[in-house]
Structure formats: structure tokens, C-alpha cells
Amino acid sequence: SQTFSTPHCTTHRRLYSLDTPPEDLQKNVAALTDNIDMKNLALQSNTGRSSVSGVRATVFGASSALGRNIVNALGRMGSQVILPYRGDGLEVRDHKLMGDLGQIVPLPYQIRDKRSVERVIQDSNVVINCISRRRESRNFSFHDTHVNATHMIARTAAELGVDRFIQLSVSNAAEDSPSRLYRTKWLGEQVAKAFYPEATIIRPGQMYGNFDWFLERFAWQWNLPFRRPCIVGPKTRLQPVNYLDVGRAVAVCVMDPINTAGKTYELHGNMCATREQFFARTQEVLSSRKTNIKLYRAWNPWWLGAILKPIYPVHKNIQFVFDFARHYPNMQWNTHECVMQTIPDMYEEKERLQREGLLTLSDLGLEPEDYFYWEARVLEPYFDRMSPHLNKVAMPREDIGYGGPVPTTEAGESWHSGAVFGYRRGRRGGYNRDWWGPDAGEYDWEFQDKETPVRYGSDIDGNSYLNQHVAK
């Protein structure tokens, strides 16, 4: 019998086998210094949302709090972003607003299905892997999530000849870490480097921001009734970095592939303290009062980990049973792995960075977000539950129509009362609950004092300060 060969039949022909070593796959990817398209990205990517930057990125793990900030940073400079997702896609549906029409494309995939991974990578020139899990499950262990998934993505990208690979890790990833998560993160870095020697590794520290597992988790524990909050690892030093900073760092690495190729960046914020200090400050912020009484219970992670280690093989598979009650007893029903993650410090230790050849945010030309500004912004939804008496403070304002001067706090009130009621709350004022009006978003720092005359409208409407006082 005669056989026929069609173009459709040859598109899925395997050119490589699983036995192909990474060194052979590296030949598919041209060196960045010889890649004209990658050299031109820096010239094309410095434009706006409706432009065409030339970046076609596939972001694995885009449904996470970090992933949405990476997609936003890429979308606002005119990149086309592919969002691989599992499930029904509701987690990435709102990501479409982060780019121009048709530029943000969610596609279903399964990380263990090579053909689906090929489908989401095949037209991209940049692959960003920020897949991660805080705890294991029956279906995906840490090794599956951080090592096997990275191997599948990096190998498939190398087979398809993708030009650029960026791997998201964690600041204290080490081969000998007490945490399984940090050990497998380190192994994931080695897998990425095996297929992409010029891959950029980004190691963020403890991250915070909207929908985080840091400030919002602390606030949630302080708001639970009839209990004494607990904290594990009180003496661990942390230097939290904002999700926005990490997203911008990824965007800079995409725009400047030549200078960031093969380098490892460790990202931290502008505030360094112990976990216990951050936890206690959350209570002070939410209650607007400072007390010398220790209102929480602190646990030694080594002692608590020794108790939980024997039951970890069973505990990791039935965590959902304890989730509803694990924060109410005096001892948290954390797993052994959750406790081990609280041991390593996560801050910018200059001697260690120099010894290991790690770079920081400043090497990317970025400044970290202000911690205190984001602290008030993230904790604002928890103010009413923790301190409802603040809403009874009299806030007089002049009745001059819409808008008006921003209300100020009375003498003796804490700075946090002002944060709740809008005085110097933020740069734009859209988040203030007591300050509303059609032109509320037009105020700036210099116009938030009572001594400054109120402007209505914006400069575009012809009501600017110059038109009112000079051009008469």
C-alpha cells in the first residue's frame, strides 16, 4: 500500500526524544548577543499599551498574585502575553484588561501533557516560569511543581527554539535548606540553566501587596475572635518586596536581554525587621493603639517542626481537614513543611550577595515601593472589623458642592486614623471612603492641604491654576 505525507501530518513529528541531552537542545537557541530580534526589544518595548513591542511572552503561573503583576507590566508596554491556565480559566479572565484588545490570550493546558505545553509556547519568543506552590498535595508534590514542571517547560521551549527564558525562584533557595520548597526551587534553577545557560533567575524575598500571604494573613489572624494569635518563627529577619517591584524587574529583564542574560537577581524591599515585629505592628496599625503587652503567642519553628515531622506524610494529604480550624487553637495546625519555611532569613545581606554574585533591584535601575504606603493600602479593608470606633470620629468639611478640601484628623488622633479617613491617604485619592466627587481623582500632593484653593476639573478642561490666576 502507498502512504502519503501531508504538511498536517508533519507538524507534530517529534524531532527530539526524551533522551536528547540538554547540550544538544541548546543549539536550537541562538546566543542573545547574535540575536537581532532580542537586541531590538530594548528599542521597541519602551512604548505604550497600544503599541507593538515585539515581545510574545508565555507566562506560566499567571493566575497567582505575582503572575498578575508580571502580566500587567508586560501588557502595558504593548506585549502579547499567552496565559496558560488549568481549570475553568476564571483566575485569568480579568487579566485580559491588562493589555490591548486581543493581546492577552488565555489558553488551557496541562503541565504533564507535552503537546499542550508546546501549544502555549510555540509562537512565543520569551517564556517566564513563575509556577509555585506553598504546600504539597496528593496530585503535585514540590518536586513535581518546581522541578518536573520546570523541566517540561524549559525542554519544550528549547526544542521549539524560544529565544529567552526567565525563571522565578525564591531568595533563600539552597541545596541544603531545611524546607523542601526552597530545596526544590534551587533544583528548578539548575534545570533551567541546563537548557538555557543564558536564563535569568529572579529570586524575590517575602512578597507583599494586594492578595498577599503576608500582611493580609497577619490581619486575618488578628481579626479572628476568641483566640490569641500565634506566629511561628518570630526571630526570622524579613525584608518584604512588593509584587509591583518583582513585576517591573521581570519587565526590565525582558526589555534588556543582553545585559541581564545569565544573571541572578535577588529582590528585597526597603524595610527590614523580624517576623515578630511585622506581626506586632499589624496589630498596632489595625487597632490604632500601641501597647507593651504581648498579645500573641510565638512558637519556635525547630521545636514545633520536631512535633509535626512524624505525621507529615499523612498530614500533607489531609490539610484541608484542618484548614477550617487550624488558627483557632493555641498551636497552629501547620504542616512540618509550613514550619520549615519560616526558618531561613529573607533579607538583603550584602556580604552574601557579593560572595554568591547576586544582583539586586538597584542593578536593574529600580527603587523599591514604600512599605508604609502599601501597608495602609493593603490593611484598609480590615480597619472596620478591628477598630469600628474610628468611624465615629467627627470629620467636618466645608459644604461647597462636589469634591472639596480633604478632611483632616483632629489633634491627638493617630496617623492611622488619618489613613482611614483620607488625609494624605494616597497620591490620587480614589481609595478614600470619606472623600468623593467627580473630580476627586484630580487632586495631587500639593492640593491636599486646606490652605490650597480647590480646583474643579482638570487642566484639559481649561480650569488649571494657570488659567484661573494668570491668563485673565
Question: Cβ atoms within 10 A of the Cβ of 339, count?
Answer: 26
How far is residue 23's CA from residue 257's CA, in Å, rounded to a whole number?
A: 21
pLDDT in tens, 239-288: 999 999 999 999 999 988 888 999 999 999 999 999 999 998 888 888 77
Please, are residues 319 and 335 in contact by the beta-carbon 8 Å criterion? yes
Q: Which residues of 352-369 are buried (b: 16+ CB within 10 A; e: fewer)?
A: eeeeeebbbbeebebebb
pLDDT at 25: 80
Q: What is the mean pLDDT of residues 334-358?
A: 90
SS3 111: coil
Residue 377 pLDDT more than 60?
Answer: yes
Please tell me the predicted confidence (pLDDT) of residue 223. Answer: 79
> What is the average pLDDT across 445-449?
45
Among 299-303, 403-407, 417-421, which range has the highest average pLDDT?
Answer: 299-303
pLDDT given for residue 283 in this prediction: 86
Pairing of strands 273-274, 237-238: antiparallel
**Residue 52 confidence (pLDDT):** 79
Residue among 154, 165, 147, 158 at smallest CA distance from 263: 165
Classify residue 471 as exposed, middle or buried by CB count within 10 Å of its CB (0-12, 13-18, 19+): exposed
**In the prediction, which pLDDT does 164 show?**
92
Coil vs helix vs strand at 134: coil
pTM for this structure?
0.77
Confidence of residue 26 (pLDDT cuts 50, 70, 90): confident
Q: What is the DSSP string of 362-409?
A: GGGT--PPPHHHHHHHHHGGGHHHH-GGGGGS------SSSS-SPP-P
For the segment 146-170, the average pLDDT, to the nearest whole number, is 93
pLDDT, tens digit (0-9, with 9 covering 90-100), for 138-150: 888 999 999 999 9
C-alpha dist (Å) from residue 425 to 21, 211, 429, 454: 56, 20, 7, 18
Name the percent of the chain in helix, strand, coil, to the closest 5. Answer: 45, 10, 45
Give the mean model confidence (pLDDT) for residues 354-367: 92
Identify the pLDDT of residue 144. 94
Residue 118, pLDDT above cutoff 90: yes
Percent of the chain at pLDDT exceeding 70:
71
Task: Say how far apart CA 15 and CA 327 lie, in whole Å.
Answer: 52
For 63-79, write each residue's pLDDT tens digit.
999 999 999 999 988 89
Which grid coordinates belong to 195? 537548557
Please answer whether residues 58 and 39 qualify as being in contact, where contact means their C-beta atoms are separated by less than 8 angstroms: no
Residue type, 41: L
Among 269-278, 301-310, 461-470, whose mean pLDDT is lowest?
461-470
Q: Residue 348 contacts by C-beta under 8 Å, 6 or more apart in sequence?
A: 205, 239, 266, 268, 272, 360
